[in-house]
């Protein structure tokens, strides 16, 4: 297993009320396990900006996690507030993650254009919003995953030269 410390937060009103089982969090945990990474903690909160922001900030500020993934609340319905909640606590945004996720999703569905997912940094923690659809969450994470471990290393202060480690032909 890698030393990347990961937490997964599901955002769902119905899941929080016990009206629907969380499928996204467990599927992300399983996918990460297949990649050789363990999820250290999972959580479930309703679509409430204050609760989402508080949980993200608490996990990022604890120093216990290098990566926090969210699933849910990235669309355009009135209760979809994950991007706003995430923006409230970020130090810096990483727009390339969201751009690539939407681009890859658009290859599968025109509805990807309404995704408002984003990614960014708080302290030394990378935070990535993923869709609520378990299938779409995995597809989006898989699209950006090649950059995630390296981005996390850089965020945590790795000063090595990227050009020496990564080349494309």
Q: Domain-by-domain residue ranges, the chain?
A: 6-156
How is the chain classified by DSSP, letter by letter?
A: --S--EEEEEE-HHHHTTSS---HHHHHHHHHHHTT--EEEEEEE-S-HHHHHHHHHHHHHHTS-SEEEEES--SSSTT--HHHHHHHH-SEE-HHHHHHHHHHHHTT-GGGGG----EEEETTEEEEEE-SSHHHHHHHHHHHGGGHHHHHHHHTT--S-HHHH----
pTM for this prediction: 0.94
Query: What pLDDT score was predicted for residue 79?
Result: 97
For the structural domain made of 6-156, what CATH number should be given? 3.40.980.10
Query: What pLDDT score was predicted for residue 15?
Result: 95
Residue spans of the chain under pLDDT 70: 1-2, 163-169
Query: What pLDDT score was predicted for residue 165?
Result: 57
Query: What pLDDT score was predicted for residue 161?
Result: 76
């Amino acid at each position: 297993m890698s030393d990347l410390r990961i937490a997964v937060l599901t955002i769902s009103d119905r899941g929080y009320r016990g009206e629907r089982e969380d499928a996204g969090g467990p599927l992300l945990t399983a996918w990460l396990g297949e990649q050789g990474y363990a999820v250290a903690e999972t959580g479930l909160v309703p679509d409430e900006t204050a609760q989402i922001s508080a949980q993200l900030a608490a996990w990022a500020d604890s120093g216990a996690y290098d990566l926090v993934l969210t699933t849910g609340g990235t669309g355009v319905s009135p209760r979809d507030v994950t991007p706003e909640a995430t923006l409230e606590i970020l130090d810096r945004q990483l727009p390339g993650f969201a751009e690539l996720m939407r681009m890859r999703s658009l290859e599968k569905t025109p509805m990807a254009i309404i995704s408002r997912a984003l990614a960014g940094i708080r302290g030394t923690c990378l935070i990535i919003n993923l869709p609520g659809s378990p299938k779409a969450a995995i597809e989006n994470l898989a699209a950006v995953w090649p950059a995630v471990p390296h981005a996390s290393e850089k965020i945590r202060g790795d000063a090595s030269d990227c050009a020496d480690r990564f080349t494309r032909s």
